A and B are shown apart, each in its own frame.
Chain A
Amino acid sequence: DGGITQSPKYLFRKEGQNVTLSCEQNLNHDAMYWYRQDPGQGLRLIYYSQIVNDFQKGDIAEGYSVSREKKESFPLTVTSAQKNPTAFYLCASGGMPQTYGYTFGSGTRLTVV
């Protein structure tokens, strides 16, 4: 079955370390997105990519980086420059979002220890 997979589900990071969250989709979607969600809050867009080898900053890109070398993969790196990285991170993909919306992964919960 087609879908979008995020891994790991839980991730712990020491302060000062970079960490990479994985997002893979087999839906043949062109566009992929990363969101951050804090407890009791809505979604905030970090980065998005509408085509391979191209990506744009969202509303809260500082302290994060991404790459889009393959259509299926859109990894997110949380760098040590991100001051408050503890959050729930959601990846999504879209083929024709204006008609079908997005498909979301199950999320990665990152905790700084």
Chain B
Amino acid sequence: GDSVTQMEGPVTLSEEAFLTINCTYTATGYPSLFWYVQYPGEGLQLLLKATKADDKGSNKGFEATYRKETTSFHLEKGSVQVSDSAVYFCALSVHGSSNTGKLIFGQGTTLQVKP
């Protein structure tokens, strides 16, 4: 079936460090891929997305590239700030499967950035 696997957290970094949060997926059809961010006590916000292979999504200094050959969509940022501390969710939506129209979420990865 369709699924998303994220690296376990928490990930703890110092300010200005490089961030990678790994996300891999399995899909029965042609997925679109998403990264969401959740700040404490809030709902999820769409951070970036990619709808076909080799697309790169980017927003607020974050980037992720849709890699079909490795079934991955790793989130990266060159220099994190304390304000980036949040939970990050990777998700997919598969065209032409029993999950059509639904997003499948990973378990979330907590990022803590220390000054």
Q: Which residues of A contact B (CB under 8 A)?
A: 6, 31, 33, 40-43, 45, 48, 50, 90, 92, 94, 97-107, 109
**Interface status of B61 (Cβ within 8 A of chain A):** no
Give the contact stretch, choosing among B15-23, B68-76, B96-104.
B96-104
Where the two chains meet, the residues of B that have a C-beta atom closer than 8 Å to any C-beta of A are 32, 34, 36, 41-46, 49, 51, 89, 91, 93-95, 100-103, 105-108, 110
Residues of A within 8 A of B102 (CB): 33, 45, 48, 97
Q: Are A105's CB and B93's CB within 8 A?
A: no
* Complex-state Cα separation, A6 to B45, whole angstroms: 15
Task: Contacts A90-B44, A97-B93, A107-B43 given; indicate if A102 touches B107 (C-beta within 8 A).
Answer: no
Residues of chain A within 8 A of B110, CB atoms compared: 40
Which residues of chain A are within 8 angstroms of B100 by Cβ–Cβ distance?
98
Decide: A104 and B101 in contact? CB cutoff 8 A: no
Q: A43-B105, A48-B102 are in contact. Are A98 and B43 (CB under 8 A)?
A: no
6 more A-B residue pairs beyond the given contacts A41-B107, A106-B42, A107-B43, with a C-beta to C-beta distance below 8 A: A42-B108, A92-B43, A97-B101, A101-B36, A104-B43, A107-B41
Partner of B42, one of A50, A94, A107: A107
Residue among B45, B95, B103, B110 with max Cβ neighbours from chain A (10 Å): B103
